[in-house]
Structure 1
Amino acid sequence: MSGQARRVALIAGGTAGIGLGAARALAAQGVEVVVGGRDAERANAAARSLDGPGEVVGTVLDSTDQASIDAAVRLAVERFGRLDVIVHSVGAAPSGTFDEWDDAPWRDAFEQKVLGAKRLMSAALPELRKSDSGRIVLVAGSAGKEPGASMAVAGTMNGALISLTRAAATQLAPEGITVNAVSPGPTATGRWERLVEMNAERTATDADTARAAMSEAFPQGRPADVAEVAAAIAFLASPEASFVTGTNMTVDGGQSRSI
């Protein structure tokens, strides 16, 4: 991108899992990246782990704290002079049926995933309006479309994110800012490994046996690789995706039954 300013992305939840994968994919494309996470040390470590022709920095970003979000947006603009992309990959909802949990986990998940996305979008919007290719990508999760009984909390929160995506896309389309969601199915992250361990304990087997049994349930016989999900995010965040907005891109290897 010689001769012009590099594009700038802010990743909420960028210290691990899909968020870190998205930061890695964007950095590899030459985007300047601000990696946001609740812990400063982890955010800085994640930033140092990324390679690319652009600069990568870490910062504190807590999606439940508007002041923290505002500070992260301000850092991106002060450091790089602009902000073109935000990616929200924050929050994990507990598994279980709707009646297994009291109100607290529901509130926590809503604060992180739904209100967190709304807070970040609102804080970044004035800067995205200055970009010639403003992009918003929310990581929603496939349970938002097809929640099983044990995914009541996750399905509700991810469904709300998908609705927020559609509403914001309609609002911002006339301004050339795109808003899209990515809904990954089970993905080989730390959360996947924790689910494997829980399943192994529940079935009195070892982790390898539990992992194989869980993987057999997927059409391709495996969970997604983080890089596969990150590639979808990177495309939706790119200038080339200028006519794609209001979509929910499912990356689940064919697991979803709906069309």
Structure 2
Amino acid sequence: MHIPSFGLGTFRLQGQVVIDSVRNGLDVGYRHIDTAQIYGNEAEVGQALAESGVPRGELFVTTKVWTEALAAGKLIPSLKESLRKLRLEQLDLALIHWPSPGDAVPVAEYMGELALAREQGLTKLIGVSNFTVRHMEEAIAAVGAAAIATNQVEIHPFLQNHKVVDFARRHGIHLTAYMPLAYGKVMHDPVIARIAERHVATPAQIALAWSLQQGYAVIPSSTRRTNLEANLGARRITLNDEELAAIATLERGERIANPEGIAPAWD
């Protein structure tokens, strides 16, 4: 089983907004839907999935376990609650959303619980999110690299996350790029704009095509049906070596997701 390369993110989308986004996304062809316990929208995502008429076998649904549920005895009940809200019998992918703040809960403890959740049939795949090299090393020691389906991390042209990417690739760990459009900042970059003009494409499509060519899965979000549909067009774009080299120069360590008190010491 593999993670679909193109998904729909739901971060910061609430209520009817997220219902409409998921409904429109499914309607235009998305089948990979990404949510999280802390987003507070699992029930609405579940409603949209249930009302869509899309067969369960065609869907790939990811949720992420919040930091407060990492301790033994809490993680599995939290995933059962996520399943209830999502109206699903089994997740396709369950991720640890962030390493335990301050490493209050050892990586081995919650990765072991996550592996147990998979053994119990609550999820088909397990993985991690926002893991540094050190946290990935500890996760590998706990469950083995082969068990880690992905590390979902912030990656876009302005934060290319080379140390994490290089380590993950060396150990055969797939990467999912969240915030692949740098929260809209790629739309205003002149380098990306020039490449987009050459391809008769949008800057968003170019940024997404760049991520896809690195082998990452992408999970952009949008509340507009036209943008949801347009983003899928990135799959038809192939950037040449010169264009890839130009985007490589945009790296500037510009991290967007860095919540105080939760974020680890980044690589």
TM-score interval, smaller chain: 0.3 to 0.5
With the length of structure 1 as denominator, give the TM-score of the two structures.
Answer: 0.39
